[in-house]
Amino acid sequence: MPARLPAPTRRPASARLPAILRTPLGVTGAALLALVLVTAVLAPLLWGDAAEAVDTAAMLQGPSADHWAGTDNLGRDLLFRTLVATRLSVALALAATALAVTVGLLLGTASLLLGPRAGRLVTAGVNIAVAFPGLLLALSFAVIFGVGQVGSVLAIGLSGAPAFARLCQTLVAGVATRDYLAAARLAGVGRLRILLRHVLPDVGGPLVVNVTIGAGGALLSFAGLSFLGLGVQAPAYDWGRLMQDGLDRIYLDPLAALLPGFAVVVAGLAFNLTGEAVARTFSIDSISGVSLLAGGALRTRRRPDAGGLPGQDATPSADVPLDAGPDLVLDVADLVVTVPTPAGRVRPVRGVTFQVARGEAVGVVGESGSGKTLTALAVARLLEPPTTVTARRLSFQGRDLLTGDHRTLLGTELAMVFQDPASSFNPVRRMGGQLAEGARHHLGLSRRQARDRAVDRLRSVRIGDPDRRAGQYPHEFSGGMRQRAMIGLGLMGSPALIVADEPTTALDVTVQRQVLDLLAEVRERDAVALLLISHDVSVVADVCDRVLVMYAGRVVEDLPAAGLATSARHPYTRALVAAVPHLETDLDRPLAVIPGRPVDPADLAAGCPFAPRCPLADARCRAEDPELVDGVACWRPGEDLPSAVPEEATA
Amino acid sequence: MPLTTPTPTAAPPAGLAPHRWLRFAVRRSGRLLVSLWVLVTAAFLMIHLVPGDPVRASLGPTASAELVAARRESLGLDQPLWVQYATYLRDLLTGDLGTSFGSQLPVADTIAQRLPATATLALLAFLVAVLVAVPVGVAVAVATRRGRAPRTELGFASTSVFLATIPDFLLAVALVWVFGVTLGWLPIAGQDGAASFVLPVLALAVGPAAVLARIVRVEMLAVLETDYVRTARAKRLPPAAVHLGHALPNAVTASLTLGGLLLGQLVAGTVLVESVFAWPGLGSTVVESILAKDYPLVQGTVLVYGVGVLVVNTMVDVALAVLDPRSTIGES
Ligand code: SF4
């Protein structure tokens, strides 16, 4: 019997029972279960005599008008026998389940009942027993208890006990450490009483689920044991027994074996579906699907007026290419990223326009949810359906990325550095191979050449003993080394642009500097451009030539990094800078000085998206959304801010 | 946004002890030995736990007292328990599993004769299950990820749940009816040529394949959203290289633990399926010996099944250690 592990917290069982019946799964399960239970109760009363009626004139017949499923060797009607057998089959399964649960509970809570030392011994035994399939245990117990109903109930019940014991151990371990148990123990409450009054109610939900599913399992096991001839013995009969008798005659009367088999499947399904439905309602499921698009920011409903289409009325001055000459590495105009959510389509990036020149370092700053990472991934063509990317222009190295296949171009000339180096390398493959495979694929290098190049690149990013390191797995590298190896991976080709998404966020402060220096060194060596996404204004100010400030999926200001502290004109940029003492504050933490919260891209009002938080906001700001003109998207750029910080004003 | 969710993972120290494989081997074989000892002891005790006199139960009420006494003596049942235990262990080490009450043949011979049919069946069924489940699980994961192709997903989910719920011996009966009786394509009993393998292997493989495909799909979906798969895509490798070269090994590794449990159940499942198809394997031997109260034969066969399960579990752990370089460290 498979044990389901619970989710950590649950509501009381009674509160949610009606909810189960509202799911299709729950309705089907409950209906089937009701059908099975009603049959179990009524069938022997209604057809008990008919099922026993011997008819020597109609022995071993196939299906007929009188006997829909045929007759057995005494001329007894097999349809009636199958229906009547419901009671014994279900009753035996329930008896075995009850035994399994009781013994399992006792074993599983042994540490509470017997104290820790004996408990540990029991746990070890349970762990060994759980590794053996239930059927094997049942067969062994059948040897001891002998064939027949009682022996089989004992065998199946005991063989199911280890699984329940394991479940209880897990559940109890979660409960036993809680304060009220310690309090109860201190108050001198007896062990059994603690178990009954405090532990059981708490683990009840998952237990109910597993008991239901376990009953289904016991039913199938019993059918199996009887089918082998080890379970119910004649003249008594259950479904397994009927199947065994029917199998010999499968050519003559297939229904003799198939009908009881069908009954077993229906009854098994009834228990399993019901258990499954309860489990879902209480979210007690071990292998449920991975949630899709689980983004807090994207979940909410979308307002019908959420942002007009950008670009349609774009001011021409905003997107005139600097110069479509060879100096432009990246040219982006009106980039839009659309994400479908259950509540409708949301656009976390709404018309972003910028260029990156050869060798230039451009920083993108903004709060979480400003669309900066999605912009980077969209530019790198790493977003996948159902997320869609549209743009008026998206060209890299003079090639239009919106049409055609640019795999080799991107694979050799665009390098990516991701935020978390710990998870960005494949844990089951060696580092050397992970660096080499792209080069083998795009540059046609042989295995040896590619490896040599990988070792060379590891050396160039200052990884000591690169030959040995290339043969190691990612977990054998330190965090800083992995991030340097990531940069080395980007250098396997001949990159013109490195897109680095928060490259130092996950690193220790001491190694952050190393990685930034390495990036600077690489840029200098080969005139590589850098698009650096960061929430850390100080890093961007330090490393970059130019800064794009993003807010609510748009660039609100585009200015030289050197002017960040002095000549920022957008109220948001100025608030950012003012809020950053020595430019070192983490923007992912709420900024007390910028009142209000970042906007939700699913919930944009008309007008300037910053208006709710802007000290300069006026009626026009709330009505019309400013475009990016002359490097700033604001109706009142550069105007004096009212003293934003009350404390200072009063001081 | 799933793409930007950072996974905080503590970085293990670089430069690991080279003898970690040895440590793993010692620890794992220690666990195997303990399990084996428990299994052997349980098999030994089984006969002593039978209520009443097992020899009397086996020979029946009509057997003479002398015969019972003689049989007891030949089995060593008149000795103290610990002497019997020591003898049992010693005999086991020399490959002596005792003598069958019924046939008077050495149990080891009977097992050696019946085991190959069962082992072949279980192995073939396992291969079929894996060869079907892994590609199907991977393909469905790739096709349905991020809410794509919802109808494929629904179809897969309901089919696999249904197939996983049908117990193997019921499926066996249904297969016999469809392919043996109605269509007459395949033999339904005995082991005779390749065709006779089809139905038993199918009956054993379908359930585990359905469960395994579900597991592989879930693991694959999770792996496809990881940062390292994004890195692989950033290398602009063809989709096949990303899915098969980067995602699959991780998904398979993650599926292995549960897959091993399935395989253990498959070993036990052969007993029932063999009974349906009158397969000349160990399954019918164990059932007949239980019915005939042929205790030495029961002891021997149960022991063999148990060892089979233990071997499977150990192999899964070893495979896990080979496939996932982190697992040997994770345990310590
Ligand atoms: S447009 Fe108005 S609300 Fe928006 S930032 Fe400028 S001043 Fe503030």
DSSP of A280-291: HHTT--SSPPPP
* 3-class secondary structure, A550: strand
In angstroms, the CA A450 to CA A457 distance is 10
Mean residue pLDDT of chain B comes to 80
CA of A609 to the centre of ligand 1 (A): 8
Q: Which residues contact A506 (CB under 8 A, 6 or more apart)?
A: A419, A420, A421, A422, A479, B6, B8
Angle at A489 between CA A502 and CA B252, to 5 degrees: 90
- The more confidently predicted of residues A246 and A497 is A497
Query: Which residues in chain B have Cβ-Cβ distances shorter than 8 Å to A374?
Result: 1, 3-4
**From atom 5 of ligand 1, which residue's Cα is the shortest distance away?**
A634
Within an 8 Å CB–CB cutoff, is residue B173 touching chain A?
yes
In angstroms, the CA A157 to CA A154 distance is 5
Put simply, the answer to whether A416 touches B177 (Cβ < 8 Å) is no
In angstroms, the CA B50 to CA B39 distance is 17
Average pLDDT of the residues in B124-144: 90
* 3-class secondary structure, A37: helix
A556 touches ligand 1 (CB under 6 Å): no
Per-residue confidence (pLDDT) for residue B295, from 0 to 100: 83
A268 touches ligand 1 (CB under 6 Å): no
Whose structure tokens read 């949301």?
Answer: A346
Q: Quick: pLDDT tens for B280-330.
A: 888 888 888 888 888 888 888 888 888 888 888 888 888 877 777 766 544
- Testing ligand 1's pocket by substitution, the residue of A618, A635, A641 carrying the most ligand atoms inside 8 A of its CB is A635
Q: Quick: pLDDT tens for B216-260.
A: 888 888 888 888 888 888 888 888 888 888 888 888 887 877 777
Phi, psi of A629 (to 5 degrees): -125, 130
In chain B, positions 84-143, which contact chain A (CB-CB < 8 Å)? Answer: none
- The more confidently predicted of residues B274 and A210 is B274
Q: How confident is the model at residue A180 (pLDDT cuts 50, 70, 90)?
A: low
In angstroms, the CA A246 to CA B179 distance is 17
Cα dist from A90 to A145, A221, A268, A309, B166, whole Å: 21, 12, 10, 63, 17
Per-residue confidence (pLDDT) for residue A79, from 0 to 100: 77
Within an 8 Å CB–CB cutoff, is residue B275 touching chain A?
yes
Q: Quick: pLDDT tens for B37-96.
A: 888 888 888 877 877 777 777 777 777 778 888 877 777 777 788 888 888 888 888 878
Is the pLDDT reported for residue A224 higher than 50?
A: yes
Give the DSSP H or E segment for A365.
strand A361-365
A621 touches ligand 1 (CB under 6 Å): yes
The percentage of residues in chain A with a pLDDT greater than 70, rounded to a whole number, is 76
Beta-bridge partners for A362: A531, A546
Closest of A269, A226, A279, A276 to residue A36, by C-alpha: A269
In angstroms, the CA A634 to CA A626 distance is 5
Within an 8 Å CB–CB cutoff, is residue B321 touching chain A?
no
- The more confidently predicted of residues A266 and A52 is A266
ipTM over 0.90: no
Put simply, the answer to whether B9 touches A147 (Cβ < 8 Å) is no
Q: How confident is the model at residue A300 (pLDDT cuts 50, 70, 90)?
A: very low
Q: How near does any CA of chain A get to the CA of B73, in Å?
A: 21
Q: Quick: pLDDT tens for A108-166.
A: 877 777 777 777 888 888 877 877 787 888 888 888 887 888 888 888 888 888 888 88
Is the pLDDT reported for residue A329 higher than 70?
A: yes
Beta-bridge partners for A479: none
Average pLDDT of the residues in A6-13: 44
Closest of B271, B267, B272 to residue B310, by C-alpha: B267
**From atom 1 of ligand 1, which residue's Cα is the shortest distance away?**
A634
For helices B20-49 and B81-93, angle between their N-to-C axes, nearest 10 degrees: 130
Put simply, the answer to whether B167 touches A425 (Cβ < 8 Å) is no
In angstroms, the CA A23 to CA A278 distance is 10
Q: Quick: pLDDT tens for A363-413.
A: 999 888 788 889 999 988 888 878 889 889 888 888 888 887 788 888 888
Q: Quick: pLDDT tens for A459-496.
A: 888 888 888 888 888 888 888 888 888 888 888 888 88
Is the pLDDT reported for residue A583 higher than 60?
A: no
CA of A641 to the centre of ligand 1 (A): 11
Q: Is the dihedral of CA A631, A636, A641, A644 positive or negative?
A: negative
A488 touches ligand 1 (CB under 6 Å): no
Q: Quick: pLDDT tens for A419-458.
A: 888 888 888 888 888 888 888 888 888 888 888 888 888 8
The percentage of residues in chain B with a pLDDT greater than 70, rounded to a whole number, is 92
A611 touches ligand 1 (CB under 6 Å): yes
Q: pTM of the predicted model, to two decimals?
A: 0.75
Amino acid at the residue A541: A
Mean residue pLDDT of chain A comes to 76
In angstroms, the CA A430 to CA A422 distance is 14
Put simply, the answer to whether B11 touches A479 (Cβ < 8 Å) is yes
Put simply, the answer to whether B167 touches A220 (Cβ < 8 Å) is yes
Put simply, the answer to whether A254 touches B181 (Cβ < 8 Å) is yes
Put simply, the answer to whether B173 touches A264 (Cβ < 8 Å) is no
Sequence-distant contacts of B310-316: CB under 8 A, at least 24 apart: B310/A131, B310/B32, B310/B35, B310/B36, B310/B39, B312/B260, B312/B263, B312/B264, B312/B267, B313/A131, B313/B260, B313/B264, B314/B28, B314/B32, B315/B260, B316/B256, B316/B257, B316/B259, B316/B260, B316/B263
A635 touches ligand 1 (CB under 6 Å): yes
